[in-house]
Every structure is written in structure tokens, then in C-alpha cells.
Amino acid sequence: MRATDASSAARCGRLWTAHGPVDTPVFMPVGTQATVKAMSPAEMLELDCQILLANTYHLHSRPGDELIERLGGLHRFMNWPRAILTDSGGFQVFSLSKLRTITEDGVAFQSPYDGAPVFMGPVEAMAIQRRLGSDIAMLFDECPPYPCSPEYACQAVERTLSWAAVCARQPRAAGQLFFGIVQGSRYPELRERCARELVNIGFDGYAIGGVSVGEPDELILAGVDMSIGPLPADRPRYLMGVGLFPQLVEAVARGVDMFDCVMPTRLARNGAVMTRRGRYPLKAAAYREDARPLEDGCGCPVCRQFSRAYVRHLINVGEILGVRLVSLHNLYGYTEFMREMRDAIAQGTFPALRRRVAAEYQAITSEHENREKEDTE
């Protein structure tokens, strides 16, 4: 651990992987299909991104993990020299619920691409990740929906723990780390039990899963509070699928080190610009003649060169460059925000940053929501 915050559980550290160090707290851009949408690996390196996330289920389906292995592994396949974390496919148990059947041995999917049967369990998920050669492999788990009954959540925890024990025994790629995933929905006793039993099995890091699956915002941080207590301080802690800046700050204050979310690039494809103080819809008529950069004070290449009016024009006429520019700006914002948090923890100014984000983000989001309403009317 490199530094801690005296007023909270926030900490900054360094996670060592087979493809280099990762400074935490860190945000991992999502590259589901072995690419961060609209971005090149060179651009991600220019942003000083230290780790990307790719998806086991989708890469197994297309182009196939055996093909990727024959071509030298995922790093070589996508020309990415730094760390990669692969999700296990457990989230697809939730997101593809209409196309799967759960058994004690794993999950039988119907492929959303061609309808072909796909079976994935703990053995299969870890074998795929070993062939991909990711630096961090997530254990196969069951992510329950929200809401769900205590009985369903309990069954999901039982399966997650059973599968975790199987995953832990599987062979690894050279230097590969295994992370367990805490489940339990909104039930404190289930989350605490799941966390404790995962720690008893013993993994290189631990994730908090089953959040950001449709529950109210306040339950996201409650899920962290229910899960994080038993997790060891000398292992990285990863909150899965969470990406709003106030959520990141509050989770870091609770001791979380790693995050991922599709939000920066997904919102960019819909013309939404993310800033330190909130997001706004660039497609709106209010920005048609706006000569300002996408975000005042931003140092990204987009804000240094282009106006809101120009990027809005590109988005509204369907030019690919528009999506690329907004994606670059949004990802730059996340990279710099995490760097700002690390610096604040190290310099003892994290409490001030925490207060500022909570106040400013809410204020500007309300302003832009009002503007969206006016444009609609």
C-alpha cells in the first residue's frame, strides 16, 4: 500500500501483473470484444491506460479462444502490451437470462449470435481464460437479478461458492491471477457469508458483484458496505460495473481499488459527454453554435482542438469521427479522474475531493437534465 486516507478507508497502491503494474484506484475501460469501442490500442496507451477488460463468454463465442491461443494469446491478438482482466461469463448468466438454463455444473446458453448451444461452467470458464492468457481471470459465478427473493439469492451464493472452489483448482496461464466474486444480492448476511468463504478458499483478489443490475442507486454502495468487511486489506478489491464519478469516489472511500463500466463509450455512442461535474446531451439544439470545448478546463486532445458545435454536428449527421471524439474525451476524463483520486489520497486532500464531487456533480447534472427537458418541449 502506497498511501491511505486518514478520514476513510480510501487507499492507493500498486497491483503487479504479468504485463506490468497497475496503479490503484483504477478504472478499467471495457473491451468486450478485444477492443474498446471506437478506440485504437495506441490511443489507449496515449491515455496511459494500464489495464483493459475483455469478456470470456463473447470471445469464446467469437472468434473463439482456441483461435486466439493459436495466434499468440489475447495480448498479441489485440496488440495490447499492458494488463488485461477477463470477466468470467458470470454476468451473462444475468444478462442472457432468457437464453440460458442453470444447473449445478454450470450454465447452458443458447448463443445470441447463431442460436448454437454453449455450455459454460467453472472448468470451462477458467480453461477459456487460461487460453486467452489474461493477467486477471475472474471466477465463474451466478449474478442474481434485482429484485430476487432471499431463497434465490441463497441458491446463487451456494452455486457461486461451489463453483469458486472448482475454479481455484484449475490450471492458470503464466502469472495469471484469480479473483473471487462476492454475491448475495441485497441481503447482508448472504454477502458477508459469501465474502468470508471466498477468503477461506483464498484468491489473489476479490470482486463485489451483483450490483448495478437494476437496483436503486443507494443499494449499490450498500452492496459494497455489506461485502467489503471480510475482504483482506492486502488484496485488491474490485467493484464490478459501476461508473458514475460520485459512486467511484464513495466506493474508494470504502476501500475499493478497481472499477469497470461500459458507460464512457456507450454514452458516447449516444452523444452524451461526460464531465467532472456531470454529463450532458451534445445532440441538443442548445449546443448548435457553442464554440466552447466539450468540457471547460479539460486537457484532452478533443477539447484542445474542437468545439461543441463541431462535434455535435458530427454526432448528429452520423459521422464516425463524432463517436470517436466523444469516446476519447470521456475515457480521458475517467483516466484523469482516477489519477486525481490517487493524488488526493497521497497528498491528504481526499476528503475535500469527496465533498466537491458530491456537490458539483449533482448540481450540473440537474442543470443539464433541465436543458434536456426544455429542448424536448
Residues 74, 68: contact at Cβ < 8 Å? yes
Overall number of domains in the chain = 2
Same-domain pairing of 173 and 273 = no
DSSP E strand boundaries for the chain: 3-4, 11-17, 20-24, 26-29, 51-55, 83-87, 100-103, 106-110, 117-120, 136-138, 177-182, 205-208, 237-239, 258-261, 272-275, 278-281
Q: Which of 240, 261, 282 is the last residue of a domain?
A: 261
The 10s digit of each residue's pLDDT in 301-341 is 999 999 999 999 999 999 999 999 999 999 999 999 999 99
Contact between 279 and 365 (Cβ < 8 Å): yes
Q: How far is CA 350 from the centre of its chain?
A: 22
Q: Crossing angle of helices 320-347/308-316, nearest 10°?
A: 130
Based on the fold, state whether residues 305 and 231 are members of the same structural domain.
no
Asked if residue 250 and residue 127 are part of one domain, the reply reads yes
Whether residues 305 and 346 fall in one domain: yes
Residues 209, 331, 137, 225: is their CA dihedral positive or negative? negative
Residues 75/133, Cβ–Cβ less than 8 Å: yes
Range of the domain at 102: 3-261
- List, for residues 178-222, the tens digit of each pLDDT value: 999 999 999 999 999 999 999 999 999 999 999 999 999 899 999
CATH at 104: 3.20.20.105
For the annotated catalytic residues, the residue numbers are 87, 260
Domain boundary among 241, 261, 281: 261
Q: What is the dihedral of CA 182, 120, 18, 253, to 10 degrees?
A: -20
- Residue 240 and residue 323 in one domain: no
Say whether both 164 and 216 belong to one domain.
Answer: yes
Residues 11 and 100 reside in one and the same domain = yes
Same-domain check for residues 159 and 39: yes
Q: What is the pTM of this model?
A: 0.95
Least confident of 110-119, 145-154, 287-296, 341-350: 110-119
